[in-house]
Amino acid sequence: MDTLIVGGGIGGLTLALAVHAAAPDSRIRIFEAAADVRALGVGINLGPHAVKELSALGLENALVAVACTPQDYAFFTRHGQLVYREPWGRAAGHQWPHLSIHRGDLHQVLLAAVRGRIGARNFFTGYRCTAFEQDEDSVTARFAAPDGAALAAQRGDILVGCDGIHSVVRRQLYPGEGAFCFRGINLWRGVTRQQPFLTGRSIARIGARHATLIVYPIRDAIDAAGNQLINWVAEIEREVAVPVDWSKPGRLEDFSPTYQDWTFDWLDAAAMIRNADLILSYPMVDRDPLERWTFGRVTLLGDAAHPMYPQGGNGGAQAIIDAATLGRLLKSAPDPVAALQAYEAERAPATARIVLQNRSAPPNVIVDTVEQRTRGKRFERLEDIISQDELRAIFERYQKVAGYHVNQVGRPPAQRG
């Protein structure tokens, strides 16, 4: 089997490793548009459902060494009042940890494994896919160099479009798709070096629909003073979307006024935002789910297949689960084309449910419910407004659709009933 992978991001690299694990003697080539690979982005969350797959590929220790492993997830109102908190990752009984990690660190771990197992010569940089064609026996991909010059076409048995949010492979399959769906929310994402907050291993989600702030550490003990690299994401309602570009710098003055009085006894969020090392912007955009990803020898994976709102720790995780699923099916299905069809049948409905849930019941619906009932004011007694059981049920529902509830992913062998 000869696999062409278009895009060397999180999904493409994981797929290369999964195909290699399933068929070590097969030929695997990854074609990445960027001319050089740099540690881009800020933080990304991977739940135990995704870490389970990375662990099966032998990457858990390398990832844990460069990531943070949160032990609790807490929701607060925009006044900093605690609404709901529950144990997270291993502390919630999972066999695998939850990882909060710099996307660049995740990418480096995956890339080192690809170079070690599949060979650096099979990871092509400066190869932007421009088109593909297929016949009964093979698929051929066409490429351009960063200067636009055509590169030699490459032929394989299957082609997987892992080329992200602006996928060229998807555009060829669905030429008239039009603009992304914008939910009226923009994100400003940043990192700040500062002292740990709460337990030092907490994910905090503050505020609700009009303005939310999600805060979590992604690198531990980064200096002698014990600072962490703290990742934060500010989600604010806006009428106009910022560009759909993961690397677009964001401007402090465009969003920081919303948070200027978000100073709590457990976190000075306003100062954290002011002191950022890096600020990037991104809009809350997705696309309507596709029923079909697979066309003969070609399929889609990750953001190319199911662009979803980057929230709830799903964007990266679902790409990783896609990759692991396809790897397994390439081993068990009678032929590669049948594997691509089985992959679509398993993954398209599952990811469609997450795309739709992120629209209708995003994770901040917990605090939204509370703020609606308090009309955005401070509360005296939370139990007069909502019960912990109701809050737990809302959050459990989200986790079950996202596929990372502890009953779905698995407990350590010693704790299984």
Ligand X SMILES: Cc1cc2nc3c(=O)[nH]c(=O)nc-3n(C[C@H](O)[C@H](O)[C@H](O)COP(=O)(O)OP(=O)(O)OC[C@H]3O[C@@H](n4cnc5c(N)ncnc54)[C@H](O)[C@@H]3O)c2cc1C
Binding residues vs ligand X (CB under 6 A): 6-12, 31-34, 40-42, 44, 103, 128-129, 162-164, 168, 189, 246-247, 302-304, 310, 315-316, 319
- The DSSP bridge partners found for residue 29 are 4
Residue 189 tokens read as 């994402």
Closer by beta carbon to ligand X, 83 or else 204: 204
Q: How far is the CB of 37 from ligand X (least distance, A)?
A: 8
Closer by beta carbon to ligand X, 6 or else 298: 6
Provide the 3-class DSSP secondary structure of residue 169: helix
72-76 and 82-87 strand pairing: antiparallel
Residue with tokens 């809009």: 283
DSSP states of 181-221 as a string? EEEEEEEEEEEEEE---TTSSEEEEEEETTEEEEEEEEE--
Q: How far is the CB of 397 from ligand X (least distance, A)?
A: 22
Q: How far apart are CA 258 and CA 212, in angstroms?
A: 10
Closer by beta carbon to ligand X, 247 or else 275: 247
Q: How far is the CB of 376 from ligand X (least distance, A)?
A: 28
Q: How far is the CB of 193 from ligand X (least distance, A)?
A: 17
Q: How many CB atoms lie within 10 A of CB 319?
A: 28
Q: Among all residues, whose Cβ is closest to ligand X? A: 9
Q: How far apart are CA 27 and CA 249, in angstroms?
A: 38
Amino acid identity at 200: G
Closer by beta carbon to ligand X, 94 or else 102: 102
Closer by beta carbon to ligand X, 32 or else 105: 32
Provide the 3-class DSSP secondary structure of residue 256: helix
How does DSSP classify residue 414?
G
Helical (H) or strand (E) element with 310: none
Q: How far is the CB of 268 from ligand X (least distance, A)?
A: 23
Closer by beta carbon to ligand X, 85 or else 156: 156
Q: How far is the CB of 256 from ligand X (least distance, A)?
A: 19
Q: How far is the CB of 251 from ligand X (least distance, A)?
A: 17
* Residue pair 68/88 in contact by the 8 Å Cβ criterion: no
Closer by beta carbon to ligand X, 1 or else 131: 131
How does DSSP classify residue 286?
E
* Residue pair 366/395 in contact by the 8 Å Cβ criterion: yes
